[in-house]
Amino acid sequence: MPPSFDANNNNNSSSKNGNNGEKQQQQQQQMVCVTGAGGFIGSWVVKELLLRGYRVRGTARDPADSKNAHLLELDGAGERLTLCRADVLDAGSLRAAFAGCHGVFHVASPVSNDPDLVPVAVEGTRNVINAAADVGVRRVVFTSSYGAVHMNPNRNPDAVLDETCWSDYEFCKQTDNLYCCAKMMAEITATEEAAKRGVEIAVVVPSMTMGPMLQQTLNFSSSHVAKYLMGTKKSYPNAVASYVDVRDVALAHVLVYERRDARGRYLCIGDVVHRARLLQILKELFPQYPVTAKCEDDGKPMAKPYRFSNQRIKDLGLEFTPLRKSLHEAVICMQQKGHLPLIYPMQKRAYL
């Protein structure tokens, strides 16, 4: 049997980063809202907030859908979690969800390259900030993406990627990278609207997010790993990418929320590795799976990992989970939830 993974045992969490009793008591009075509560990152944000004693309202377009049922099983959910229906394109539903909340974590956004994602990401974010301001929410944490940061062909490869970096919008558009365009526009909209309406805002900028899922359905970044493991992705680009553990991303949201002077962007990147290295780690951890993808640029010099700074969020107390651990737990979790077949090392030949 594969080692079991206990999704309730989040060891990079409040226990690791410490909370005193007085602060926790104050937080217990606080109601906060998380949009997109049932998604991959949203679920871990809800879990972290519950662990820290907050009263949490989670939004979903259909709270009764079984895909959100895992939220009700989280520790503290029975007493301190309510789910409510809200669509980011419906301002009234957002105002109702945010009423009485001290803070909002705006996590919801489609993760796709579908043109429909742009209005949901951008107008949805405008609605969230305005609804928050309308009902007196003081502080918003917005989930951006490293897609808004690193996609710039003219970036000096020796320069350190940090919070001052932005993707090149025209380049993203020309290369059909609508997700990056949408996240850039959404982040700019969030910051500008918050400034206009006098709402405090901090932005978490996660890279490709890995690790165990609390939800049952397979999200985009987890499926990225599953495709390589199952050999359904036949090739990979000669490119580097940055990765982070989902529990670190969730904790980053809460840390920037709790530090009242935290403003602006916080890059949340744990590692930058070439795709070949990612596949190598998967092969070492799970030799029984047919990780067979080949580099598209075979024979050409390998792209080199860029340097990056995650110092701002580290200064708030975040310690990053090693990529190897994150991948290991992601795969075990996908096996347990039935997204990957259970193959034991000796079965590889028969399976192939």
Ligand X SMILES: NC(=O)c1ccc[n+]([C@@H]2O[C@H](COP(=O)([O-])OP(=O)(O)OC[C@H]3O[C@@H](n4cnc5c(N)ncnc54)[C@H](OP(=O)(O)O)[C@@H]3O)[C@@H](O)[C@H]2O)c1
Chain residue at closest Cβ approach to ligand X = 39
Which of residues 199 and 214 has its CB atom nearest to ligand X in the complex? Answer: 214
Report if residue 58 touches ligand X, rule: CB under 6 A. no
Phi first, then psi: give them for residue 318, nearest 5 degrees.
Answer: -80, 130
Report if residue 81 touches ligand X, rule: CB under 6 A. no
Indicate the helix (H) or strand (E) that contains 267.
strand 264-268
Which of the stretches 6-14, 109-117, 302-310, 319-327 binds ligand X when contact is defined by CB under 6 A? 109-117
Report if residue 48 touches ligand X, rule: CB under 6 A. no
| One-letter identity of residue 156 | N
In the chain, count H helices and then E strands.
Answer: 15, 12
Q: Give the Cα separation of 95 and 131 in Å (integer).
A: 5
Report if residue 310 touches ligand X, rule: CB under 6 A. no
Which of the stretches 2-10, 46-54, 217-225, 320-328 binds ligand X when contact is defined by CB under 6 A? 217-225
DSSP helix/strand/coil, 110: coil
Report if residue 89 touches ligand X, rule: CB under 6 A. yes
Q: Give the Cα separation of 334 and 223 in Å (integer).
A: 9
**Shortest gap between Cβ of 145 and ligand X (angstroms)?**
4
64: tokens are 């009764």
**Shortest gap between Cβ of 241 and ligand X (angstroms)?**
10
Report if residue 38 touches ligand X, rule: CB under 6 A. yes
Q: Give the Cα separation of 96 and 329 in Å (integer).
A: 37
Report if residue 334 touches ligand X, rule: CB under 6 A. no
Which of the stretches 9-17, 74-82, 203-211, 309-317 binds ligand X when contact is defined by CB under 6 A? 203-211
Report if residue 320 touches ligand X, rule: CB under 6 A. no
Residues belonging to the active site:
183
The angle formed by the CA atoms of residues 130, 134 and 140, to the nearest 5 degrees, is 55
Number of chain residues interacting with ligand X (CB under 6 A): 27
Report if residue 326 touches ligand X, rule: CB under 6 A. no
Q: Give the residues across from 86 on adjacent strands.
A: none
**Shortest gap between Cβ of 120 and ligand X (angstroms)?**
5
Report if residue 108 touches ligand X, rule: CB under 6 A. yes
Report if residue 88 touches ligand X, rule: CB under 6 A. yes
Report if residue 270 touches ligand X, rule: CB under 6 A. no
Let me know: does 190 contact 106? Beta carbons within 8 Å. Answer: yes
What is the pattern of x (binds ligand X, CB under 6 A) and - over residues 285-304?
--------------------
Near ligand X in 162-191, by CB under 6 A: 183
Q: Give the Cα separation of 349 and 152 in Å (integer).
A: 43
Annotate 293-316 with three-state secondary structure: CEECCCCCCCCCCCCECCHHHHCC
Select the residue interacting with ligand X from 33, 46, 107, 132 (CB under 6 A). Answer: 107
- End-to-end alpha-carbon separation of the chain, Å? 20
Q: Give the Cα separation of 8 and 293 in Å (integer).
A: 34
Q: Give the Cα separation of 43 and 71 in Å (integer).
A: 7
Report if residue 61 touches ligand X, rule: CB under 6 A. yes
**Shortest gap between Cβ of 64 and ligand X (angstroms)?**
11
Report if residue 39 touches ligand X, rule: CB under 6 A. yes
Let me know: does 125 contact 110? Beta carbons within 8 Å. Answer: no
Interface with ligand X (CB under 6 A) = 36, 38-42, 60-61, 87-89, 107-111, 120, 124, 143, 145, 183, 206, 208-209, 219-221
